Amino acid sequence: MAAGYLTASLEEGEAAFLIALKDVTKAQGGIAPLAKKTNLNREGLYDMLSEEGNPRLSSLSAIINAFGMKFEFVPKRLSAKRS
């Protein structure tokens, strides 16, 4: 469920994705266990997962890996209506 939620939120935009990351972090035990799993600083994680956060790709990768997920890229679907 978390993977689907994160995917859908990313399609809505960066702010929605950061909120979803925060939600999944809470659902999986919170910031402290995530900091331990990722070897990232707890305070830095709080900042990163805030609405104004701007995480680095390496940090996002560590978080996604700690959630037991991976990044996957797929082509955008072609629109039913062609302009």
Q: Which two tokens stand for residue 52?
A: 């104004």
How many C-alpha atoms does 57 have within 13 Å on its Cβ side? 1
pTM of this structure: 0.80
69: left (phi over 0), alpha (psi -120 to 50) or beta: beta
pLDDT tens digits for range 7-60: 999 989 888 999 999 999 999 999 999 999 999 999 999 998 887 888 899 999
Residues 6+ apart with CB under 8 A from 29: none
